[in-house]
């Protein structure tokens, strides 16, 4: 096996109680752990204490850790997670547990732990990490973990900079010599101009501040001209539902590669008569006209309106994926690649792009929830629809 200089350095020198690899995505951090984990387990086999792998969920442990290790070492050495949340790795029974909730790691509460591997540690519940501090109580107990950094006020950053027995290695994407240059260039392009460039390319603990989409450009992302139905193109509707808050709708055209928001609807119940679900349905029917719609994606909390659309049996409707942070990352990629365009008639949407901002006063990544309804419907469309349509492009 060939290893980078950084990977070999970790394998040889990470001998503290707490050992971390922090930094960019695709920088080779986790790959080294497919060899570190068996080294740690075999060094402690037969000694008292539990061996544990913690990830955000059991499914991420399987996807990020066990499956790649199985491909390297085979099924005899890397088993499957069973109904007791354990699997056999290199002759040792290992607990595999999700770390997003304290309740999910109740099996290790009160137990002595000899080894823990932690995947995506920055995404854990802090209480889970605090629990580990008192459980790694053997002279030979140790922890290995990998993570992408988040904001500079994150609880884990404070631990890494503390006087605990910590080894912390930093990675940028440029520390991985095995990535094709074209792939690196494309990944850099995806995140240019955003907080994600600092985090996922440079591996920095960077604050999400200022505009959410500073890369949005009227020259690059705004189009003009006549709007007409084009045979062979696909059309979708995305809706952010509101009664007191505005009811916002975007009509998107997909040409086989890029998506263009060609029409918008903005109806504020504060400024005009409040409408019921039937009233809103009439609005979208008039907006769409004779254009054939593949399906509609709607704010998943608007269950009543989704049922109204289903009742009329004219359009297929789906609840949108409302993962805010991952959705914003995806929209960032589409803007940077020029795969998302907005017609200049969509004035409310354009206004929001230039005002949509991070909440600088929130220690977590969070947006200011004001004048964001069109940003929400953009995110619903990109993360629920376009990501599937462009799976070979982005």
The H-or-E segment that residue 331 falls in is: helix 324-337
Average pLDDT, the chain: 93
In a domain, 232, yes or no: yes
In a domain, 204, yes or no: no
Give the closest residue to 201 by CA, choosing from 58, 24, 363, 341: 24
- Which ranges of 167-263 does DSSP label H, i.e. alpha helix? 181-191, 195-196, 218-221
Say yes or no: 141 and 229 in one domain: no
The tokens for 63 are 């996807």
Going by pLDDT thresholds of 50, 70 and 90, the confidence category of residue 255 is very high
Say yes or no: 150 and 231 in one domain: no
Tens digit of pLDDT for each residue in 221-241? Answer: 999 999 888 999 999 999 999
Q: Say whether pLDDT at 392 is over 70.
A: no
**Terminal alpha carbon distance of the chain:** 30
The CATH number assigned to the domain holding 314 equals 3.30.420.280
The pLDDT assigned to 146 comes to 96
Say yes or no: 244 and 302 in one domain: yes
The pLDDT assigned to 111 comes to 87
Share of the chain above pLDDT 90, in %: 86
Domain housing 19 = 5-177
In a domain, 190, yes or no: no
Give the closest residue to 12 by CA, choosing from 44, 39, 45: 39
Q: Say whether pLDDT at 374 is over 90.
A: yes
Tens digit of pLDDT for each residue in 157-170? Answer: 999 999 999 999 99
Secondary structure of 89-101 as H, E, C letters = ECCEEEEEEECCC
In a domain, 208, yes or no: no
In a domain, 193, yes or no: no
Say yes or no: 240 and 359 in one domain: yes
Give the closest residue to 215 by CA, choosing from 194, 184, 231: 194
Provide the number of structural domains found in the chain: 2
Q: Which residues pair with 239 in a beta bridge?
A: 249, 298
Say yes or no: 140 and 52 in one domain: yes
Q: Which of 149, 177, 205 is the last residue before a domain boundary?
A: 177
The CATH number assigned to the domain holding 120 equals 3.40.50.300
The pLDDT assigned to 354 comes to 93
The H-or-E segment that residue 393 falls in is: none
Close Cβ partners of 352 (under 8 Å, ≥ 6 residues apart): 371, 372, 373, 374, 375
Looking at residue 122, what DSSP letter applies? G
Going by pLDDT thresholds of 50, 70 and 90, the confidence category of residue 394 is very low
- What average pLDDT score do residues 261-284 get? 90
């Amino acid at each position: 096996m060939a290893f980078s200089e950084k990977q070999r350095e970790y394998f040889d020198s990470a001998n503290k109680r707490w050992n971390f690899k922090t930094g960019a995505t695709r920088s080779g951090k986790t790959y080294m752990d497919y060899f570190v984990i068996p080294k740690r387990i075999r060094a402690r086999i037969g000694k008292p204490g539990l061996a544990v792998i913690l990830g955000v969920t059991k499914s991420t442990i399987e996807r990020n850790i066990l499956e790649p290790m199985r491909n390297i070492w085979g099924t005899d050495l890397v088993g499957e997670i069973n109904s007791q949340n354990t699997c056999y790795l290199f002759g040792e029974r290992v607990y595999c547990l999700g770390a997003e909730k304290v309740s999910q790691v109740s099996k290790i509460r009160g137990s002595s732990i000899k080894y823990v591997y932690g995947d995506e540690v920055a995404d854990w519940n802090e209480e889970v990490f605090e629990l580990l501090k008192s459980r790694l109580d053997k002279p030979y107990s140790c922890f290995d973990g990998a993570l992408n950094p988040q904001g500079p006020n994150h609880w884990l950053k404070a631990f890494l900079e503390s006087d605990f027995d910590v080894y912390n290695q930093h990675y940028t994407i440029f520390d991985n010599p095995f990535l094709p240059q074209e792939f690196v260039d494309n990944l850099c392009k995806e995140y240019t101009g955003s907080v994600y460039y600092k985090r996922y390319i440079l591996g920095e603990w960077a604050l999400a501040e200022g505009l959410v989409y500073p890369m949005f450009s009227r020259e690059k992302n705004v189009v003009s001209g006549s709007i007409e139905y084009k045979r062979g193109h696909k059309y979708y509707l995305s809706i952010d539902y509101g009664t007191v808050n505005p009811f916002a709708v975007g009509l998107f055209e997909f040409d086989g590669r890029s998506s263009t928001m060609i029409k918008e609807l903005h109806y504020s119940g504060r400024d005009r008569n409040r409408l019921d679900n039937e009233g809103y349905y009439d609005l979208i029917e008039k907006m769409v006209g004779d254009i054939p719609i593949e399906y509609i994606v709607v704010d998943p909390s608007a269950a009543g309106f989704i049922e109204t659309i289903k009742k009329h049996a004219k359009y297929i409707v789906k609840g949108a994926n409302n993962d805010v942070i991952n959705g914003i990352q995806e929209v960032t990629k589409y803007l940077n690649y020029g795969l998302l365009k907005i017609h200049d008639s969509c004035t409310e949407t354009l206004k929001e792009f230039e005002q949509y901002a991070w909440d600088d006063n929130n220690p977590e990544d969070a947006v200011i929830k004001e004048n964001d309804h069109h940003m929400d419907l953009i995110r619903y469309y990109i993360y629920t629809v376009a990501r599937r349509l462009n799976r070979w492009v982005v």
